[in-house]
Amino acid sequence: MCGIVAYIGTKDAYPIVVKGLQRLEYRGYDSAGVALMNGDLKVYKKQGKVADLQESTKGQDTTGNIGMGHTRWATHGAPNNENAHPHLSNSGNIAIIHNGIIENFATLKEGLEARGHKFQSETDTEVLAHLIEDVMVNSNLELADAVRASLKQVIGAYAIVVLSKDNPEHLIAARKGSPLVVGIGEEAGEYFFASDATPLAEYTKKVIYLNDGEIAIVENKEMTIKSIDNVVQTPYIHELELNLEQLEKGGYPHFMLKEIYEQPKSIFDSYRGRFDSSTGVFHMRSLEEYAKQLAEIKRLILIGCGTSWHAGLVAEYLFEDYARLPVEVEYASEFRYRNPVLFSDDLVMSISQSGETADTLAAMDLAKRKSATVFGVCNVVGSSIPRLSDAGAYTHAGPEIGVASTKAFTSQVTVLTLLALGIAKIRKTMSADKIATVMQELERIPEKIEKALELNDQLIELSKLYKDAKNFLYLGRGYNFPVALEGALKLKEISYIHAEGYPAAEMKHGPIALIDENMPVVVIATNSEHYEKVVSNIQEVKARGGKVIAVVSEGNKDLSKWVDHTIEVPETIEPLSPLVNSIPLQLLSYHIAVMRGCNVDQPRNLAKSVTVE
């Protein structure tokens, strides 16, 4: 939600900031703006995409070696020019960009208005710009101290960058609850700031992930990191493992398609080096260090949002089958406000691509306070969720930029499979042979996905037939019920066609009423324990005139006499079938969205990383 980027050094700031904003645009794209310091403080902002901002700055003075920029996902106030960031203080001397929500902004604003402040926007952010100036003037503080003092009055989440006309060599940044990464440039005194590391990758490999409650002050070419209480901190400098190729489309028309095609590799990277087939040993720090607790846990609670929640639903089947653990799967946003009953022998596992989803973080925090062991399964290295976890595992899918999650989902399922097997081993609920057999099959999945990707042409033809449908129904049972949910989510996210995922047998308790000849029904009917039952559900749809697109196991020619279309995918064992079966559903939604002229990588109203509740 909202992307922020800033630069201070000797280079021209504008191109660095704008390029950074383009890399962060997946976080929000309803308006964008920049502030540049070159003696004077210049601010340009524009409703729309970063490209619209660039267009509007043509011919303007964009010089300056200090600059910051913002791409917005609206929370307070409509997406328009006035509400776009940066926001200015009352005098116009201080500029701020902000990601997060200032919950007590209305109270702060009232006080400031009573002291004569005039506001130009409806945003919570503008209040903070005014507050900093108010504190500076009334308490006679230097800029950095005024920022600290102001932040102490703020309730809510923020990552901010502040520039001031009166302090032309300064840049102040701070975070609480929203991410902020600092890149250390090659030249002395050169620093980059961004919501995540992607804009930094082309300039530096040395990064610092600011901790909550920290403030970075760059002053006269030196950076100091302090706590909000003014205690100097010693930051840990991480080595960044991102390469530029991962951040480009690499010849694909959209990031989403590139990421769909990357799945043979991303799944491989998710399990690579984590299981030694000659010894049967899992090499995962969380399993090694927490073996004693894992042997004794009584319950597993999986937490996530959106697609990550769907990965949790697949994992429910995996952990119950393999580790024989009672499992609950929770929407983080519900769990955190429910006063859940938790015990110290519960294991809570948060699943997140970005590692920054506000609700997931809050749910983890609650679980920790209630003394559960908390694991994180996360894609973005160094993000907040792994840092808040006791242990966990990275999914290693590489950067996912398309807003609709694809490879992150299959990597999450892969890592959750490893954890389920590893915990099964610790709890002795599966034999070493059985574990080895599943692992052998997991190692065949990348090749099977390669084959599933060859279905692309068939899916283009199917998309042509169904792109104008108003509704879609997705049905699956067992391990493939979450795949139906995920298939429906993909379609509605990027094509804006209403779609529902349902457990196939549950259809007769409601959705069956919707079925007529205009309703395409995608049924996952690959070989499984429930295959015959799914076939009966298909008959129920066909009896009511629905159009059935069935995903079946390769070689299944029987079903074609009952259904309108079959999509044959390589066969695998049922617990791993979500990995393969997701592929045609991803491709179907992708092509339908493209044919409907939708912006696949940046669907309306959505953001990739939801850092507000």
Residue from 263, 308, 411, 589 touching ligand G6P (CB under 6 A): that is 308
Task: Tell the smallest beta-carbon distance from residue 412 to ligand G6P (Å).
Answer: 8
Residue pair 19/117 in contact by the 8 Å Cβ criterion: no
Tell me the window of 63-71, 82-90, 299-307, 545-553 that interacts with ligand G6P (CB under 6 A): 299-307
* C-alpha torsion angle, residues 250, 255, 261, 262 (rounded to 10): 80
Task: Tell the smallest beta-carbon distance from residue 489 to ligand G6P (Å).
Answer: 8
274 dihedral zone (left: phi>0; alpha: psi -120 to 50; beta): alpha
β 547-553/565-569 pair status = parallel
Residue pair 100/612 in contact by the 8 Å Cβ criterion: yes
Residue pair 499/521 in contact by the 8 Å Cβ criterion: no
Residue pair 517/490 in contact by the 8 Å Cβ criterion: no
**In residues, how long is the chain?**
613
Task: Tell the smallest beta-carbon distance from residue 1 to ligand G6P (Å).
Answer: 9
Question: Toward ligand G6P, which CB reaches closer, 275 or 375?
Answer: 375
β 3-8/94-102 pair status = unpaired
Q: 60 phi and psi, to 5 degrees?
A: -90, 165
Q: Fill in the amino acid letter for 178.
A: S
Question: Toward ligand G6P, which CB reaches closer, 595 or 606?
Answer: 606
- Helices of type H across 115-152: 124-139, 143-152
Question: Toward ligand G6P, which CB reaches closer, 307 or 572?
Answer: 307
Task: Tell the smallest beta-carbon distance from residue 331 to ligand G6P (Å).
Answer: 10
Residue pair 551/569 in contact by the 8 Å Cβ criterion: yes
Per CB under 6 A, 178 contacts ligand G6P? no
361 dihedral zone (left: phi>0; alpha: psi -120 to 50; beta): alpha
Question: Toward ligand G6P, which CB reaches closer, 16 or 485?
Answer: 485
What distance lies between CA 563 and its chain's CA centroid? 36
Per CB under 6 A, 463 contacts ligand G6P? no
Per CB under 6 A, 360 contacts ligand G6P? yes
Query: Distance between CA atoms of 500 and 495, rounded to whole angstroms?
Result: 13
Residue pair 217/226 in contact by the 8 Å Cβ criterion: yes
Residue from 100, 306, 482, 501 touching ligand G6P (CB under 6 A): that is 306
Residue from 353, 373, 395, 582 touching ligand G6P (CB under 6 A): that is 353
- Residues of span 384-403 touching ligand G6P by CB under 6 A: 403
Residue from 99, 195, 286, 354 touching ligand G6P (CB under 6 A): that is 354
Per CB under 6 A, 333 contacts ligand G6P? no
Tell me the window of 96-104, 178-186, 337-345, 348-356 that interacts with ligand G6P (CB under 6 A): 348-356
Per CB under 6 A, 611 contacts ligand G6P? no
Single out the residue of 499, 439, 505, 449 nearest to residue 478, CA to CA: 505
Look up residue 467 and give its DSSP letter.
Answer: T
The answer for residues whose C-beta is within 8 angstroms of residue 208's C-beta and 6 or more apart is: 181, 182, 184, 216, 225, 235, 236, 237, 238
Tell me the window of 104-112, 186-194, 460-468, 605-613 that interacts with ligand G6P (CB under 6 A): 605-613
Residue from 89, 123, 405, 410 touching ligand G6P (CB under 6 A): that is 405
Per CB under 6 A, 410 contacts ligand G6P? no
Q: Could you give the angle at the alpha carbon of 588 between the alpha carbons of 587 and 589, nearest 5°?
A: 95
Question: Toward ligand G6P, which CB reaches closer, 184 or 362?
Answer: 362
Residue from 164, 286, 352, 537 touching ligand G6P (CB under 6 A): that is 352
Q: Is 608 a catalytic residue?
A: yes
Query: Distance between CA atoms of 439 and 434, rounded to whole angstroms?
Result: 9
Task: Tell the smallest beta-carbon distance from residue 195 to ligand G6P (Å).
Answer: 13
Per CB under 6 A, 381 contacts ligand G6P? no
Q: Which residue is nearest to ligand G6P (CB)?
A: 306
The owner of tokens 């996952």 is: 524
Interface map 533-572 toward ligand G6P (x if CB under 6 A):
----------------------------------------
Q: Terminal CA-to-CA distance of the chain, rounded, Å?
A: 10
Q: Is 598 a catalytic residue?
A: no
Q: Among residues 258, 490, 547, 608, which one is catalytic?
A: 608
Per CB under 6 A, 305 contacts ligand G6P? yes
Question: Toward ligand G6P, which CB reaches closer, 67 or 179?
Answer: 179
Task: Tell the smallest beta-carbon distance from residue 377 to ligand G6P (Å).
Answer: 10
Question: Toward ligand G6P, which CB reaches closer, 351 or 569?
Answer: 351
What distance lies between CA 441 and its chain's CA centroid? 28
Number of chain residues interacting with ligand G6P (CB under 6 A): 15
Q: Which residues are catalytic?
A: 2, 608
**Contact residues: ligand G6P, CB under 6 A:** 305-308, 352-354, 357, 360, 403, 405, 606, 608-610
